[in-house]
Structure formats: structure tokens, C-alpha cells
Amino acid sequence: MVKTVSIATLICALSIGGVSAKEFQEHNNMMNHGDGHLMDMDGGMVMGQNTDTLPGGCDKIAATKEITVRAGHKYSEKFPGTMWAFDQQEFQFEPCTKLTVHFINEDEIRHQWMMHGLPKYMYPKGMFHLEVSGPGSVSGTLILPPGDKTYLVHCDIAQHMEKGMKAQLKVGKGGEDLPSIPGVTASVFPDDYSGKPFSLQEFVTQETQAKIASAAAAIAASAPKTDAQTNGNAGAADESFLSGVTVVGLAIGIIIGPLLTKRFKGMSVGEVVATVFELISHSIGFTVELIAKLVKKFLGKKAIPLPDK
Ligand SMILES: [Cu+2]
């Protein structure tokens, strides 16, 4: 009897051990591989670390900042349709700031804090990248470039960004907002809970309507400014030119939209993408051929003949 109980206890203990959470791990003793690449064998990684080289255009380090960013499933709960998120979706720093990011992963899976669009001459592939597999923390430092720009920050594990783990980091005033930042900017593909099957025709119509509405709003917003402006005709001409371009673009969109819908009807998304790429590559090929012909026509006679061997 005692033996049975103790075996049962042992099995219980083992099974509990098997499903228990991984312990939180501070990845602060990583191997330095040079070029800002640090890692350990437990899933901690820093890539593109730069603690002392000033990017071109920075005279000095403008400020020294430290932030703690948490990643986890629980932060996605306030954003319907998402699965993962950072605890913050937007960051803003002065140009040339030396920034240290303490990245904490609160999930049992792998997450990253990956920043894109940095100058490639000093950040490999233009990236600064922190990564932790399972619950733990990792810290890395970079020096932000000068200028006003908005950088994409995301987790690159398949579907993590698409399912919410996406943020933007503004340097200076930032540039244009990125789409689909949970709670910050509108989603490119809003979730549809209607239960109706996907209709490309309807999707294109909705997209076109949304574009017309936003263009109309932009025109309406710029109209009173134009009247109030005392800058002279140049400013007004610029704005009317812009709205002219917008209107022409919209007209083309409205005409081409239904044609494309017809062309792509019944195709899967993959097929649509493949067809679009095919069309693009055909038109590029055609243009290159045309240019080559023109060049040959105009320069052909002047070309210096190669010496005979
Ligand atoms: Cu992730």
C-alpha cells in the first residue's frame, strides 16, 4: 500500500514538473561575437548593439535613455483580434539618443523586439534586435540616427507581428505613421466578424470608398488653410496640384479597381500576388527592352568598336 501511494506521489510530482512554467531567466552573461552580436545558448540574443559609434550626422549623444518593454500574450487582450503584443506600441526619442532597451518576455515562447530601417553602414541589415526564448530578459543598446523618421519595431516570429506584436519608434518628429499598430493606427485589414465569406469585389469597393473618404477629408482639411494662407500663390498652387494628383489617382483607382477585381476573381491571395508580380516583371522587362532599343538606336553608331584580338 505504502509503495502504491509513493509511486502515485512520484507520478504526480513528475507530471506537475512536466507542465510547470519555465523559470524566468536574466540573459546577462552572453557571449560577445563582435559587431554588436551577443548571444547565449539559452535563447538570449542581441544583434546590432552599438554603445559608442555615433551615426553620421550626430555631433554628440543628445540624450541617454533607458526603457523597459514587456512582451506577452496578456498585453494583447485589450486589442480584439490580436494574440501577442508589447506593453507599449509607440516610442519617441530625440535624434542621436543613446537608447538602452530592457526587453522582458513574459511568455513561454520566443519573442523579439526588432527595429528596422536603421542606417545599414552601422547596423547590419539596418536592424537592432533583441530576442528571448521563454520567460526572461535581455538588454541592448543602440544610438539612434539623426533626422525625423518613424521606425518599425516588431516581433519577426511567424504571425506574431500580424497578430499584434508591432510598434513604432519615432525619432524626432517621426515620419508617416505605420499602419496596423494596435491601438495607435488603423488596421490595413480590419477584422471581419460578420461571418460572411470573403468577397474580393466587396473588399475592393470598401477599400475604394475608404480611400475616397480619407482623400475627401484631407482635401477638406487643407481647404480652409489655403484660404487663410497669406504666403501668396505658390503655396496655393502646390496644394491644388496635390489635390489634382489625388483626384487623378482616385479616378485611375476607380477605373482600374473593378477591372482588377474581374481579372482576379476566383483566385486565391497567393495567385493574386503571383499575377501582380508577373504583371510588374513583364512591364519592367518591356521598359528595359525599350530603353535598350532606344540606347542602341541613338548610341549605336557612336559606339567604339572593340579591338580585334
Ligand atoms: Cu513574438
What is the second-level CATH architecture of the domain 25-171? Sandwich (2.60)
- Rounded distance from Cα 182 to ligand 1 centre (Å): 15
User: Distance from the CA of 285 to the center of ligand 1, in angstroms?
Assistant: 39
pLDDT at 46: 97
Compute the distance from residue 176 Cα to the ligand 1 centre, in Å: 25
**What pTM value is reported for the model?**
0.60
Closest alpha carbon to 139 in 97, 103, 107, 86: 103
pLDDT at 22: 76
Q: How far is the CA of 24 from the centre of ligand 1 (A)?
A: 17
User: What's the pLDDT score for residue 277?
Assistant: 73
CA separation for the pair 257, 9 (Å, rounded): 67
What is the per-residue pLDDT for 241?
53
pLDDT of residue 130: 98
CA of 46 to the centre of ligand 1 (A): 15
Residue indicated by cell numbers 477629408:
217
Q: What are phi and psi of 29, to 5 degrees?
A: -135, 55
Res 234: pLDDT: 44
Q: Which residue has the cell 530578459?
A: 137
Cα(33) to ligand 1 centroid in Å equals 24
Taking the centre of ligand 1 as the mean of its atom positions, its distance from the CA of residue 106, in whole angstroms, is: 11
The answer to whether the beta carbons of residues 126 and 168 sit under 8 Å apart is no
User: Where exactly are the structural domains of the chain?
Assistant: 25-171, 200-295
CA 64 – ligand 1 centroid, Å: 27
- Find the 211 Cα to ligand 1 centroid distance in Å: 32
Per-residue pLDDT of the chain (309 residues; tens, 9 = 90+): 555 555 555 554 555 444 566 789 999 889 898 889 999 988 899 999 999 999 999 999 999 999 999 999 999 999 988 999 999 999 999 999 999 999 999 999 999 999 999 999 999 999 999 999 999 999 999 999 999 999 999 999 999 999 999 999 999 999 999 999 999 998 887 777 788 888 888 888 888 888 888 788 778 777 654 444 444 444 444 445 556 666 666 766 666 666 666 666 667 777 777 777 777 777 777 777 787 777 666 655 444 445 444
pLDDT of the residue at 232: 43
User: What pLDDT, on a 0 to 100 scale, did the predictor assign at position 233?
Assistant: 45
> 74 CA to middle of ligand 1, Å?
12
**What is the Cα–Cα distance from 272 to 265, expressed in whole angstroms?**
9
Question: Quick one: 212 exposed, middle or buried, by C-beta within 10 A (0-12, 13-18, 19+)?
Answer: middle
111 Cα: distance to centroid of ligand 1 (angstroms): 3
Separation of CA 94 and ligand 1 centre (Å): 27
CA distance 93 to 96: 9
CA of 117 to the centre of ligand 1 (A): 19
At 222 the pLDDT is 72
Dist. CA 170 → ligand 1 center (Å): 21
